[in-house]
Chains A and B, each alone.
Chain A
């Protein structure tokens, strides 16, 4: 079955350490996204990528970095510069079409809960 896999489900790190969250999809989707979810805040966009080797900052990119070396993979690194990294992180993907009309909504992974102490 096609889908999006995020690993690990739970991640614990000490303050000051960088940590990388994995996101892999086998849906053959061009676009991938990272969202952060905090209680009472909804989902906020961190980074997104429309094609391989290209990505754009979202609304809250500070303290995060990404790479898109393969179509299937879009890892997110939470750096020590991120002041409040403890949160639930969701990866998503979607089809993109020429002409700017999306024909499908976002498909989400199951998320990674990051706790930094």
Chain B
């Protein structure tokens, strides 16, 4: 079974600074996808960024980028120029396509607070 571990239950960062959220996963699969989701106080789950395991290039989306280390099974999220609106729970998620189903396995989340 796949597992996803987020070792930082809570983090804080000053506005305009950079913060990195950690995520490790365990799998025996070679083909998989990784995602970071953001859940603000409204509790809407919003996709932040995704990475295909077969791509060596790290994904980037504006101020958000990942450091994907496949051998180490690590998938950290870097937020640059942090903004107050980045305050949220962040969930790392892992997906293995198989038998026609696409089940996401989520980590327990990291609560990020951006301080003015």
Interface residues of A, Cβ cutoff 8 Å to B: 31, 33, 35, 40-45, 48, 50, 56, 58, 88, 90, 92, 94, 96, 100-102, 105-106, 108, 110-111
Q: Within the assembled complex, what's the spacing in Å between the Cα atoms of A90 and B91?
A: 14
Interface size bracket, B side: 20 to 34
Within 8 A of A (CB), among B1-51: 4, 9, 33, 35, 42-47, 50
Interface residues of B, Cβ cutoff 8 Å to A: 4, 9, 33, 35, 42-47, 50, 91, 95, 97-104, 106-109
Do B109 and A101 touch (CB < 8 A)?
Answer: no
Do A100 and B45 touch (CB < 8 A)?
Answer: no
Q: List 5 A-B contacts (CB under 8 A).
A: A40-B9, A43-B106, A94-B102, A96-B100, A105-B95
Q: Shortest distance in angstroms between B39's beta carbon and chain A's nearest beta carbon?
A: 9
Do A96 and B102 touch (CB < 8 A)?
Answer: yes
Do A108 and B33 touch (CB < 8 A)?
Answer: no
Do B101 and A48 touch (CB < 8 A)?
Answer: yes
Interface of chain A, helix or strand or loop or mixed? strand
Do A105 and B50 touch (CB < 8 A)?
Answer: yes
Q: Within the assembled complex, what's the spacing in Å between the Cα atoms of A40 and B109?
A: 7
Q: Provided the pairs A41-B108, A42-B109, A108-B44 are in contact, do residues A31 and B91 lie with their beta carbons within 8 angstroms?
A: no
- Residue A40 contacts which of B97, B106, B108 (CB distance < 8 angstroms)? B108
- Residue A50 contacts which of B46, B100, B108 (CB distance < 8 angstroms)? B100
